[in-house]
Structure 1
Amino acid sequence: MIAVLGASGEVGRHAVAALARAGTGPLRLGARRPGAIGTEEAGPGARVMAVDATDPAALARFCAGSRLVLNCAGPSYLLKETVARAALAAGADYVDVLGDDPVAEALAAAGAPAAGRTAVLSAGTVPGLSVLVPRHVLALTGPGEAAATALTVHAGGLERATPTVAADILLSLTTGGVGGERFGHPLAAWRDGRREQRVLRTDESAEVPFYPDRVAVQPLLTAEIERLAAALPLERADWYNVFPGRRTRALFTALPTLPVDSPEQRAAVIDRVIRASEADLAGADPYYRMVFTLSAPTWSRTAVVRAGDSYRLTGAVAALTVRALLAGRIRPGLHFAGDVLDPGEVVAELARDGAAEVEVFATAAPGGAPAQLAFEDGAL
């Protein structure tokens, strides 16, 4: 039995559909409001349960008897390791579409998971695919080519923010990073083996390759990108969050100054995030895009991920993580998905499933600048 918590949400329903299409099951689908769970695509034998992730007894009942628990519920930075502990206590393996460093630190401090059990965190788009795509591009490096030295990423799109996403965005201002830090360091970048503060600048009207219009870009260096840069290793790594929507960008700029001390104030800010995203989306087609440029002094490759929205993309990565774990391709222990999934397999499966199109372009421009992009790898 595969238990999917948060099955009524945008990510959860896409994960359920992807698992069912792959023949993975049977599925136990959990949500606070079970009537909101769509079972049409869940496959035969799917069972729906009411469960509140903040209720320990209900959560224990939901996890009991499961081979694996996939957590798509949120806000992740509020639940933290709650669901992971319940799943592991029930003897199940665990996959979390977010989780990140706070959950990893809490589980490691508790000596979890126990011997023979597996927990995989950050099995989504950002984090998750955000390091798998660069690893895929790196694998395309030919014999005799210089080692990669730099990575530049632009990620973002035009899509509706769900209440859960809006709540996690608000929480990320104070948590979500390593050692109790906030999620990411604005304006920071990776330089010569370490994080450097205030290296980059925002741009409110940038032309970014492969984005249809001018966008606002906000540099943010996360712990995930720091780990990737250290592991490869890279001399430079720059990450930019992309905001095509003017209203959403303006609100995000103001977020640190808004009052959020009371539950009512936090709810009001969350509602503003949702309404801003809806206003930006009015009359436009939603999209989500990630553009990765990995380079050396003598070559440069750019991977472009195109998706209708990040929710389906996250659900697809989560489902692939579940399948890899069940197939024995992930060893027992505590992991981040970007460290243990096969990058090429993930990219190919996303294309086969229809969750995204991925293209890789190459050039031999000195300095790593993609001056004349040439089609290399195709829509995989």
Structure 2
Amino acid sequence: MSGRTGRPAAVGIVGASGMVGLAAVEQLRRLGVDDLRLGARRADLVRRAVDEVLGGRGEAHTVDATDPAALARFCSGCQVVLNCAGPTYLLGDTVGVAALAAGAHYVDVAGDDPVLESMTGRGLAGTDRAVVVSAGTLPGLSSLLPRWLAASGFTRPVGLTAHVGGIEPCSPVVATDMLLSMRTGGVAGAAFGEPLAAWRDGARRPRALRAAQNTVAPHFPGPVAITPFLSAETERLAWALGLRSVDWYNVHPGPAVRTELARMPGYAADPATDPAQVGVRLRRAADLDLHGRTPYYLMVFGLHGQSTGGHRTATLVLRAPSSYRLTGLVGALAARAVLAANVPPGLRAACDVLDPGEVVDEIRAAGPDLGVLHIDHTDHADHVEAGAPARTAAASQWPAAPALSDDAEEGVL
């Protein structure tokens, strides 16, 4: 432990030395949140984060998220605990339960439905603390940005098409989360989502779409592979906006990563698979795809529906050098909102408590090092009957993979 000790911390960050954790620390400092407590398994890395990111003005703690005693010590005295550690499907609600036991509020950049279900099963739904999960890029921005787009002049949004993905470094923890998400649902057995499914007229329609490789995706350079995937978060988004149709595609531009993703169902089906080794293979594949290329992450949302002038179509494009940095921002914004008592007690997803407009404003305020956001609108005076959005061509079949979780970096493996 180093820095200030014995004082209450506004926000304690678990996993503070990982790519997401460091980004969250940077954004909390930019947002004016002081009194930060940084925690990670490696003391040297967390001390370096305090010195280099916070200029020495913060606490550095050694904490393993799988060690109950160390986790309890870390959470004690924190007003808010922000979890940037993973793998999510291994840690589950461990950090959240420890935070609540210490009297702190809790924010998780991942978490998703399984964590909410698990905490509900423990009788924590009536907690007097605020618990916010899915405060990252995917899930998180994946629902916040379409909500903001729907509020930009639409009187009745009807159909959404999303293309999300990119080429960037990959943590082994990300691969572990992917593998475990294919093997594990929530406490009620609910899966994270369904490959190839789409949203049609108020319900999930299985196998409505096809995966493809060597195809094109809007605003993505060069040939890519696309994998349709309807997540639980996207289903809630469709209900919230009253959408008739949603086509969601995870986009994989790198051929080496595509090859590993195609093998994921086989890895998941084999109980002898070592998740750590799968993570190493995926990390190497990402490095191979990145060779000679600039990392990028794209979120492209196309929405159509009715406006006061007739029919409206709109496209939102967010291009970022890193999804990890975007996740750090959303996590920091959720922690700040909780710290400011702008989030009521209870268990909630970030998309239900954060103001989409404020999130967009903060993306723009953070500048191009975080991301560049662009939006186009087209209005047609004549009424056009709204139908399903245009499909992306699927030239050939490709094995489906689950949505890539870009939200946890600091691991326990």
TM-score range, shorter chain: over 0.9
Kept in 2: contact 1:177–1:222 (CA 8 A): no
Task: Please state how far the C-alpha of 1:262 moved relative to its aligned partner.
Answer: 3.6
One-letter amino acid of the counterpart of residue 236, structure 1: S
Q: Which moved more, 1:124-133 or 1:331-340?
A: 331-340
Kept in 1: contact 2:37–2:60 (CA 8 A): yes
Q: Quote the residue 1:275 is aligned against.
A: 284
Task: Please state how far the C-alpha of 1:113 moved relative to its aligned partner.
Answer: 5.2
Q: Quote the residue 2:43 is aligned against.
A: 34
Aligned mate of 1:361, from 368, 373, 376: 376
One-letter amino acid of the counterpart of residue 358, structure 1: L
Matched, 1:200 2:209: yes
Aligned mates of 2:56, 2:144 — CA distance in 1: 32
1:177 to 1:243, Cα distance in 2 relative to 1, 3 A: farther
Q: Quote the residue 1:138 is aligned against.
A: 150
Task: Please state how far the C-alpha of 1:260 moved relative to its aligned partner.
Answer: 4.6
Kept in 2: contact 1:155–1:290 (CA 8 A): yes
TM-score normalized with structure 1 length: 0.92
Q: Quote the residue 1:261 is aligned against.
A: 271
Q: Which moved more, 1:77-86 or 1:328-337?
A: 328-337
Task: Please state how far the C-alpha of 1:114 moved relative to its aligned partner.
Answer: 4.8
Residue-by-residue CA offset, 1:88-124 (whole Å, 9 max, x unaligned): 0000000000000011011122232554310000000
Task: Please state how far the C-alpha of 1:45 moved relative to its aligned partner.
Answer: 3.0
Aligned mates of 1:61, 1:178 — CA distance in 2: 28
One-letter amino acid of the counterpart of residue 299, structure 1: R
Secondary structure of 1:28's aligned partner: strand
Matched, 1:13 2:26: no
1:256 to 1:315, Cα distance in 2 relative to 1, 3 A: same
Residue-by-residue CA offset, 1:46-93 (whole Å, 9 max, x unaligned): 111111111111110010011010000000110000000000000000
Aligned mates of 1:253, 1:281 — CA distance in 2: 19
Aligned mates of 1:120, 1:7 — CA distance in 2: 18
Q: Which moved more, 1:348-357 or 1:238-247?
A: 348-357
Matched, 1:59 2:68: no
| CA RMSD of superposed structures (Å) | 1.7
Q: Quote the residue 2:408 is aligned against.
A: none
Q: Quote the residue 2:250 is aligned against.
A: 241
Q: Quote the residue 2:5 is aligned against.
A: none
Unaligned residue ranges in structure 2 (runs of 5+)? 1-8, 391-413
Unaligned residue ranges in structure 1 (runs of 5+)? 371-380
Kept in 2: contact 1:188–1:197 (CA 8 A): yes
Task: Please state how far the C-alpha of 1:225 moved relative to its aligned partner.
Answer: 0.3
Secondary structure of 2:218's aligned partner: coil
Aligned mate of 2:295, from 283, 286, 298: 286
Q: Which moved more, 1:37-46 or 1:17-26?
A: 37-46
Q: Which moved more, 1:292-301 or 1:46-55?
A: 292-301
Q: Quote the residue 2:344 is aligned against.
A: 331
Q: Which moved more, 1:267-276 or 1:309-318?
A: 267-276
Secondary structure of 2:344's aligned partner: coil
Aligned mates of 1:42, 1:101 — CA distance in 2: 33
Aligned mate of 2:324, from 311, 314, 327: 311
Aligned mates of 2:56, 2:356 — CA distance in 1: 31
One-letter amino acid of the counterpart of residue 210, structure 2: R
One-letter amino acid of the counterpart of residue 315, structure 1: G
Matched, 1:154 2:167: no
Aligned mates of 2:126, 2:38 — CA distance in 1: 25
Aligned mates of 1:224, 1:129 — CA distance in 2: 11
Matched, 1:105 2:120: no
Q: Which has the higher contact order (CA 8 A, sep 6+)?
A: 2
Task: Please state how far the C-alpha of 1:139 moved relative to its aligned partner.
Answer: 1.1
Kept in 1: contact 2:316–2:376 (CA 8 A): yes
Task: Please state how far the C-alpha of 1:141 moved relative to its aligned partner.
Answer: 1.7
Aligned mates of 1:166, 1:34 — CA distance in 2: 25
1:133 to 1:323, Cα distance in 2 relative to 1, 3 A: same
Aligned mates of 2:244, 2:115 — CA distance in 1: 29
Task: Please state how far the C-alpha of 1:181 moved relative to its aligned partner.
Answer: 3.4
Kept in 1: contact 2:303–2:313 (CA 8 A): yes
Q: Quote the residue 2:178 is aligned against.
A: 169
TM-score normalized with structure 2 length: 0.85
Residue-by-residue CA offset, 1:186-210 (whole Å, 9 max, x unaligned): 0001111111100000110222111
1:178 to 1:205, Cα distance in 2 relative to 1, 3 A: farther
Aligned mates of 1:234, 1:43 — CA distance in 2: 47
Task: Please state how far the C-alpha of 1:304 moved relative to its aligned partner.
Answer: 0.5
User: Aligned pairs, how many?
Assistant: 366
Task: Please state how far the C-alpha of 1:22 moved relative to its aligned partner.
Answer: 1.8
Q: Quote the residue 2:406 is aligned against.
A: none
Q: Quote the residue 2:407 is aligned against.
A: none
Q: Which moved more, 1:112-121 or 1:306-315?
A: 112-121
Matched, 1:128 2:128: no
One-letter amino acid of the counterpart of residue 46, structure 1: G
Aligned mates of 1:77, 1:192 — CA distance in 2: 31
Aligned mates of 1:178, 1:219 — CA distance in 2: 25
Q: Quote the residue 1:22 is aligned against.
A: 31
